[in-house]
Structure formats: C-alpha cells, structure tokens
Amino acid sequence: MAVCAKKRPPEEERRARANDREYNEKFQYASNCIKTSKYNILTFLPVNLFEQFQEVANTYFLFLLILQLIPQISSLSWFTTIVPLVLVLTITAVKDATDDYFRHKSDNQVNNRQSQVLINGILQQEQWMNVCVGDIIKLENNQFVAADLLLLSSSEPHGLCYIETAELDGETNMKVRQAIPVTSELGDISKLAKFDGEVICEPPNNKLDKFSGSLYWKGSKFPLSNQNTLLRGCVLRNTDWCFGLVVFAGPDTKLMQNSGRTKFKRTSIDRLMNTLVLWVRLPHLVPYPIPSGFPWVAPFAFISLSWSVVSVEVIRLGHSYFINWDRKMFCAKKRTPAEARTTTLSEELGQVEYIFSDKTGTLTQNIMVFNKCSINGHSYGDVFDVLGHKAELGERPEPVDFSFNPLADKKFLFWDPSLLEAVKMGDPHTHEFFRLLSLCHTVMSEEKNEGELYYKAQSPDEGALVTAARNFGFVFRSRTPKTITVYEMGTAITYQLLAILDFNNIRKRMSVIVRNPEGKIRLYCKGADTILLDRLHHSTQELLNTTTDHLNEYAGEGLRTLVLAYKDLDEEYYEEWAGRRLQASLAQDSREDRLASIYEEVESNMMLLGATAIEDKLQQGVPETIALLTLANIKIWVLTGDKQETAVNIGYSCKMLTDDMTEVFIVTGHTVLEVREELRKAREKMMDVSRTMGNGFTYQERLSSAKLTSVLEAVSGEYALVINGHSLAHALEADMELEFLETACACKAVICCRVTPLQKAQVVELVKKYKKAVTLAIGDGANDVSMIKTAHIGVGISGQEGIQAVLASDYSFSQFKFLQRLLLVHGRWSYLRMCKFLCYFFYKNFAFTMVHFWFGFFCGFSAQTVYDQYFITLYNIVYTSLPVLAMGVFDQDVPEQRSMEYPKLYEPGQLNLLFNKREFFICIAQGIYTSVLMFFIPYGVFAEATRDDGTQLADYQSFAVTVATSLVIVVSVQIGLDTGYWTAINHFFIWGSLAVYFAILFAMHSNGLFDMFPNQFRFVGNAQNTLAQPTVWLTIVLTTVVCIMPVVAFRFLRLHLKPDLSDTVRYSQLVRKKQKAQHRCLRRVGRTGSRRSGYAFSHQEGFGELIMSGKNMRLSSLALSSFSARPSSSWIESLRRKKSDGASSPSSVADKPLKG
C-alpha cells in the first residue's frame, strides 16, 4: 500500500500532544492521506514502460527492433517491426492508465471527505488528508472515523459511545467504547481547546484488538486500553457526537496496516509463456555460422509474438465483459451486477484449487433468527402434523399470531403456537425464561415514535433473543446506567441493575444481577453449554439430562445454542460480594484475574431454566455452491474473525462439516508445544484410522517425512480441522508451518477462527508457497482486503460491510452462490478458450515461419523471404487474426448447464492439461509438419509443371503466391476444426478473412497500385495469372488435404478410443436431443407412448435437479465420467497421482489434492 508520505525509520513509541501541531510535526508522522494508485502524470510513462519491459517477450521484441533498424542486416522495411511493438505497448498502457484512473478516483473520494477539526479554538471543516496527529476532531452520528482516535468525550453519559466495526472485523453488531473519566467531561469546545494532554503509546501496528499507552495531563498518568480508542473505518452509531484525539493517521492506522501490499498478479499461463519465449528464441540470440542467416527469422518471430500479446489482451477483455453482462449473476434485490475489475486473470478462474472464504456476510446474511428453545425440559419450535410427524417448512401452517402484543416486531416469525399458549396461561418457568432474555443483555433501545422500538445490539444473537422476548410479551423498553425497564405482558416493571458480568472469550457467558420491585435480588446468566452446565446446582440433574438431549438435537441442525440459568442472592451476601468486586476492579495488578475469580464464585450452583437455539441464516444457495465446488475438486477453507462455536455451527449449516465425518479436529493450544502436539495427534489419528480400514500404511511410512503429504492426503475417511487464532499464530511460525499445512491439506474442510486480517493473508500465502496451486479469496469486509490482495484471485462481495473488499478485489458480485458460475462456467470457458487460442496461435505461426527455414536451403540463407513483405505484415494482423479471436472469445465445449451439472469438467484446468509444455511442443510439431508440406509439395510440383501455354510455371512470385494461398486456406480449415461452438461471428470472420486475403492479393498485383507506387508493387497481374492455372489450384487442394487429414484421423480415433469427459457430455447431450426429437415425432403421429418411454423422458428431466440438489452429486458426476470415458478418467487420476508423488519431498510438501 503506497502512501502520501516518505519512508520513515521505525518508531519505538508514539508521542502525540493535543492541540500542538508544531510539537508533533518534529516527529514527521505520516499525514492522513492514503494512496492506492500506482502512477501519476510524471511517472506514468517511465514506470509503465519499465513494467512492460519486465515481460520477457517485450524485452526480446525491443532487442529485435534495434537489430531490424540496422539496414545492413535488415531485409524488411522499418514499419514491419515498429508498428506491432508500438501497438502492443499502447494497448497495454491505455488499459493500465484506465485501471489507475479509477484507483485515483477512489483515493480522491476518501481523502476529500470532510471532518470537523478543532483549530485555534474553532471547529473548522477540513479534508481527511489534512488531518494531523494531535488534532482533536468531532464526529457525529453515522459518520466514519477519519483516523485512529483516543476517545475524549461524547454525548452519552460517562463518555460512552457506540461504534460499528464492519470495516475492521466484518461484524455488523455494535460495540461500546468509553472515554477515561478524566476527559469524559470535556464536552465543551472551550475546555477542549485548552486540553494539552500528551499520549505516549505503542508504535503503529496491525493488532486490532490491542492498544497500550498512557495519557499524561496535569501531572498525572492515566492508563489507556483498546476500550478507549476509535479506529479508522469504524462508524459512529447511536451517539449524537463525540470528540477524539488523533493518535495514528493515514498509513499508520490499524486499518491500513492490515491492508497488505497491492501485488502485481500474473497468471500461470503468462509465466509459462515467458518460459516458452525464452526456449524458442534463445537460439536466435546465438550468432549463426552464416551472418546473413539471422535476419529473416527475427521479424517473423517479432510480429507473431507481439500480436499474440495484443490478441491475449483482447480475448481477456471479452471474457471480462461476458462476466459483466451475465444476467444470471445480477442481484435484482440489490440491483448489483457482477463486475470484472481486472482483465488479466480470466483464464486463471478455470484453474482454482483452493478457496479461502470469510464467514460473516459472505457465507451468511449475518441475520439471526430465534428458531427453537427448551424450557423446563420441554422443547418448543417444531410443528407436528396430525400423524405426529415433524412438519417441514413448506408444510407448516400459518406462523404464530402476536397481534395481542402492540409492541411486537411484525418481522418476527415463530411456528409453534404451544409456546405462546404457555406464556398466556402464566406458566412461571416460561415467564422466567423470557424475563431472563429481556434483562440479561447489553442491547440499547431506541424509540423514534410511540411503540416503534429499534434494538441496537453488540451481537446479532443478543438482538434475536431480545426480539423473541419482546414478541412473547416481555418487552425490553429502555435502560439507564442503573435501571432496566421491561413491559411484562403489558405491565411496566423497572428493575434496578446492580451489576453486569460481561461476556468475554474465556468466560463464554454473561450475567446480570438485578433487584426487582419487591426487593428480591436475582442473578440471570446465559452462556455456552460447555461452560454453564458445569456451574448448575446438583438438584437440576434430571432437567439437565433432558435439556442436554435438546441441545444435541439443536446442534445437529446447525443452530447456535445458549443455556439459561438463574440464582437467588440474599442481601447480606450480595453486599459482601459487591464490596470484594469493587476492590478487585480498583486493583493495579492482575485486575482481570481477580475479577474473573469473583465472577466465578457468584456464578455457581445456579438453577437451570432452559436453552435457546438461533439460526444464523445462510445466504441463498451456499450449501449447494459448496457441494458443487467440492465435487470440482476445489478445497474450501473458512477464515473468520468470529468465535469458534459460531464458525463451527455455520460449518454444519453450509454442509462443510457433517455428522458423517470421521472426526473433526479442534486445535486450541496456547503454546508452541501444545499446538505442535495437537497437530501431531491429528495426523497420527488419521494414519491409524487408515491402517485399521485396510490401507496398509506401515509405521515407517507414517514417520517418513519424505512421503508424509502424499500418504496423508490419501488417507481414508473425511476429516475437518478447526483452529483458533492464537493457535494459528504458532502454527504459522517457520518451524511449524509445514506441519500445519500437512494436517490441513489432508482434511476435507478447514475452519480458522478468531483470525486477524493479517493471519488470513498469511494462511493464503502459505498455501501459495508450498502447494503451487491457484488460490481464490472471497470476502466482503475491510478485514478481508489483505487476504483478497494476497490470493491469486480476489473476489469481493458487495454486501453490508462497506466497499473496501470490492475496491481491492479482481471480481465482485453480491452473493456467494454466484461463485459457482464464475468458476465453473466463466472460468472454465476462459481457460479452455485461452488454451485453444494459444495452441492454434503457435501452430499457425510455426507453419508460417518454418517455411522460410526450408527455403533458406535453396537460397543460400541469403535473407530472401518466401512471402511478399506485405503478406508478412498482414498475416497475423489481418488474414488470421479475427478467426482465432472469435474462437478465443466465443468458443465452448459444452453448454453452461452441463458445466454446472458436471463439475468434473473443471479438473483439466486444475491439472493444467490443455496448455502446457507438452501441448506446446505438440503444436510446434504440427506446425513444422505443415510447413514441410507447405513448402515441398509446391516446390516439387513447380519443378515440373507448365502453364496452359506450355511455358515453365516455376518463378519466384508464382511460388510465393501459391505457398501463401495454401497457408491461409490450411490454417482457416484448421481453425474450423478447432472451433467447437459455431456462431455467425465465427462464420463471418473465417470466410471473411479468406475473402479479404484474395481481395488484398489481387489489389496488390493490380495496375492501380502499380501506377501509384511503382517501386513497391512491381509484379502487376502475377496473382491473377498464377491463380488462373488449374495446376496451382490442384497443388493448393493437395497441400490442404495432406496437412489436414492426419489431424482429422487422429481426432476421430481419440474420440472413439480415449474420449475425455467433455466428449462424453457432448455425446450424452446429442442422445438426449435425439430422444426428445423422437418423442415429439411419436406424439405428432398420434401415438400415446409407452409407460417406459414416458418414464425415460421424465428421468432425463429430473437428472439435472438431482445433481443440483447436491445430495447425489458425487455419484452422478463420477458415474458419468466412468460411463463411456473410463480411459480418460483413469488418465486424469494417474496424472494427479504422478504429480502428487513428484511433489512429495522434504523441501516441498506441496501437492495437488488426490480426491476426485
């Protein structure tokens, strides 16, 4: 990430004095200006040219250009070399300038946002980029925080303010921040203008959840923590205003520290092309024995390779527009289309092996719904039919009617009427259950109009629970720092709030202590079942057993569960306990540990009330998308900042985790040794299970590091790995990262919880480094930006968490389900088209160039060319450019529906089967074979042939016209064979290119051009005379047949003896069409049709639905691949095994997944 400031030496500590710019400027802190663009007006030309000439092909072209400009060794005019190079550089420069323009536009939009800054005692409007460290700024409700601030004061009591941190951690729920008491009263402008406190704190870093420092003011020192800060990217909510002191600005803010660097992304085909260019052209850099032999090769190579760069860019541009125009990836609800934000990565979408996904807002809607509950041993939420069977969602009756409650949320739906009946009948357990939900929380209530309540919750779970209590008659209405007012069945009751024992990741529970109007003190507690069930009174054992069964049932459905309990406290005990709590809160050392011990004491021997089950609603189509991508041999890892329980529940909901899995390993170690031991046990468990299942792995094999990866990835059973952020920090250390990668890659699903944005990027980088596989990262928040930039392909979800992820992404759309279409349709087609384009391009250019090599033996390598110089210039630019572009843009092997139905079709891209070094040399061999026939057949015919008038046919110009015409016709027929999907554009370009060739040929040998340019077009009438001879046309036809027939024969035999999966799918599609046509014919002649034919027809229609359901997808796809393509399937699998074995070494544990 570039910034608007010069590089500075690393800081040891940050010192910032309020209202004193002169003092702060001597530290040369970064300004608040950010810059994500790469160029400016002055640097664009030199920097862009430098980047372009880092391409091996462009550097080679420049070297050839210099040689071609020397008349003594050049056989062609200057324009044949300069024009293509300038064209390539110009097209690329225009594309880069356009991309950078939008980056500048985005930067200016952010940097020019307005903020209120206190300058010389007056609040002034300043642009964000002019805000400096030490400034005091004022924020108002719903405004973005401009920089990392120390909260000084706010409009709320006790200096509280509420923020939304979606841009930072992906969570849309609100969080509370509080000013330290000494500054919380500085709400007046005059007082703030006199404030001269100095903050001394840690240097800039990327830790979002930690901040340590001190405020020095009026001779006193006040400790500062993360609770006192507002970070850039947050949004102020439910707070009229607040004031903050700028501590970190611009690139030093934690948001920008987590953004990562913008990396230049290049596809694997680009890298392969660089290697191939070196291979092919390296011999040309070596002096030839005959000095004049070099020049005739250079210009042809230059023109062909330079035009290939242009063609590739045009094809990629076309692919990106297809993504933009895809109506099936358009979200009508949000009016958001899919967008290809880059044009350089389209074919790599067809080679993805690993997907790294955020959870909140990407897989889920981040909308919690109260689904079920267990109260006093009775489960509510399921609806049963008259036979006692559980009713499915579509079979359920109308939802529960809450019209009795004028304060009910009309959006809330619940299907079990028996719970409302229990509430209305006054069941004490049910009333206490909902009373707890209405009191035990930190939700803020806002009532804009009478009876219109809006809840602002720190977590979506809390919001869902409080809303459920509201609808069932226990309405949380308002709160003060000391009271909570609840309307219980229409009666307003105010409880005195004595204490809040807040939730944290270690306690995993929350409690409140309240006094009711009768003076009775009660503690209400809700928390994770693993924690709370151990703190219940022994008298609740029977109820505990029943509730545990309900919890297991809810968890099996992927619901998020909480256990509810209460405890009565007598006045004397509470007073004594509250005194000890106050002392612990004032302690200078080990304050958190002391408070935890005090809380632990009171939260014991509680009485069980019941449990809740909440559904975190997945985005539409997420389970089906994950199932489909898994069948395409794509591994999906979830990297989330959410807690472990939440992430695991979502894993079950979206079917990443299933009850059928052999085991789910959970790594939670806090030290290096603990993490290493847990990973080792997981690997041993997988190996032991495989041995017991008869795989035959020996103990020595299990301990062999050289074969560890290949053995692990071949283990029997399905496993999942769940690892926490603090454990992941150790697992990513240099001496343990390979062990972590081995274990993770052997698992079907991997979930990393509580990870920081930087850890997300590190996980992606680890897989890129060792697995050598194409990675894709997808997310929707600013916390995903670093991961998106690190992966080969970054996808941004334009959701509810801002546009930071979209701005940093290569592709964007609004829903996760569109990912399957992006990869399986657009990605696979792009890879197929690009590979076919490159194979054909190298073929036609070797056929074109190598003719000169054979001609050199007969002209003494004198640098004389076979073709006319204008043919050399126009061959790639005019005669053969459009047909191959049409194929590269429009071609497809199977329709889009079949691409989605048969995800196995995606595998060739992952294995790089369609264009690699082997395929490249096959294209070269075919081109050389064609060039031999193209030269020697006309040469042999012309040696003996005569014209109609008996004169000798053999002359240089006639030979050149014959060879050139043969070449254009042969390559046109060849691209017709290569085209798998014919459109009107293909027909127009192929036959139109042939027509243009003959038109230009006759024009160049016409009297008109000779009269205008006698020195350039001297051979008047040569083309007409040559092509008027039957012998010439016979030669052209013979050459075409001999060049094309072996290709036709080879493809025919391969199709019948060794078809690949796409051949099988096309064949099955043809069979379906014939069956439907026959069926229509039978109906047309009046036959009713037999039951068997009707069944077959309906079976065909239902086959796609069965596959799309995901239930039998694996069987369907595998069955098809083995149906009539058994040799092809085994060939792909054997290749995968070879790659696995070859990559398994102590230095590189990288390997492709073996799962088919």
Instruction: Taking residues 1006-1033, report their average pLDDT.
Output: 78
Confidence check: pLDDT of 288 > 70: no
Asked whether the predicted pLDDT for residue 526 surpasses 80, the reply is: yes
The Cα 406–Cα 687 span in angstroms is 61
d(CA 620, CA 49) in angstroms, rounded, equals: 46
Mean pLDDT is lowest, of 72-86, 676-690, 797-811, 985-999, for 72-86
Q: What is the pLDDT of residue 305?
A: 58
Listing DSSP states for 193-228 in one string gives: HH---EEEEPPS---TT---EEEEETTEEEEE-GGG
What's the rounded Cα separation, in Å, for the pair 740 and 1019?
Answer: 73
Give the model's pLDDT for residue 964: 93
State yes or no: pLDDT of 471 exceeds 90: yes
| Cα separation, 989 vs 996, whole angstroms | 10
CB 456 within 8 A of CB 176: no
DSSP label at residue 142: T
Q: Report residue 534 as tokens.
A: 């151990």
Average pLDDT of the chain to the nearest whole number:
81
Residue 1005 amino acid letter = H
Contact of 930 with 973, CB cutoff 8 Å: no
Over range 779-808, report the average pLDDT: 80
The pLDDT value recorded for residue 1111 is 36
**Whether the Cβ atoms of residue 655 and residue 682 lie closer than 8 Å to each other:** no
Phi, psi dihedrals of residue 393, rounded to the nearest 5°:
-60, -45
Reported confidence tier of residue 363, pLDDT bands at 50, 70, 90: confident
Which residues are part of the catalytic machinery? 358
> Kindly report the CA angle at 304 between 75 and 978, in degrees rounded to 5?
140
Determine how many CB atoms are found less than 10 A away from the CB of residue 306: 26
Among candidate residues 815, 801, 822, the one with its CA nearest the CA of residue 619: 815
Q: What is the mean pLDDT of residues 822-828?
A: 95
Of 818-832, 997-1011, 1077-1091, highest mean pLDDT: 818-832
pLDDT at 1146: 35
Task: Let me know: does 608 contact 547? Beta carbons within 8 Å.
Answer: yes
Q: What is the pLDDT of residues 430-464, one digit of tens each?
A: 999 999 999 999 888 877 777 788 887 767 788 89
Residue 820 has pLDDT above 70, yes or no: yes
The mean pLDDT value for 262-270 works out to: 68
Give the lowest-confidence range in 161-175, 192-206, 994-1008, 1082-1096.
1082-1096
Tell me how far apart the alpha carbons of residues 419 and 383 are, in angstroms, rounded to a whole number: 11
pLDDT at 1101: 35
Q: Which amino acid is at 506?
A: I
- Which residue type sits at 342? T
pTM for this prediction: 0.70
**712 — pLDDT class (breaks 50, 70, 90):** low
Q: What is the mean pLDDT of residues 220-231?
A: 88
Judged against a pLDDT cut of 60, whether residue 1100 lies above it is answered with no
What H or E segment, with its residue span, contains residue 353? strand 352-357
The pLDDT-based confidence of 706 (bands split at 50, 70, 90) is very low
Residue 289 is predicted with a pLDDT of 38
- Tokens at 234, concatenated: 């947050």
* pLDDT of 615 above 60: yes
**Position 1086 pLDDT exceeds 80:** no
Most confident of 284-288, 650-654, 858-862, 1038-1042: 1038-1042
Angle at the Cα of 97 from the Cα atoms of 93 and 99, rounded to 5 degrees: 120
Least Cα distance to 281 among 64, 538, 572 occurs for 64
pLDDT (tens digit, 9 = 90+) per residue, 37-60? 888 888 899 988 888 887 766 776
Name which of 165-174, 483-492, 559-568, 755-764 the model is least confident about: 165-174
Residues 6+ apart with CB under 8 A from 166: 172, 235, 361, 781, 782, 800, 801, 802
Distance CA 824, CA 632 (A): 8
* Percent of the chain predicted with pLDDT > 90: 37
Q: What percent of the chain has pLDDT over 70?
A: 80
Which of 384-398, 672-686, 813-827, 945-959 shows the lowest mean pLDDT across its residues?
384-398
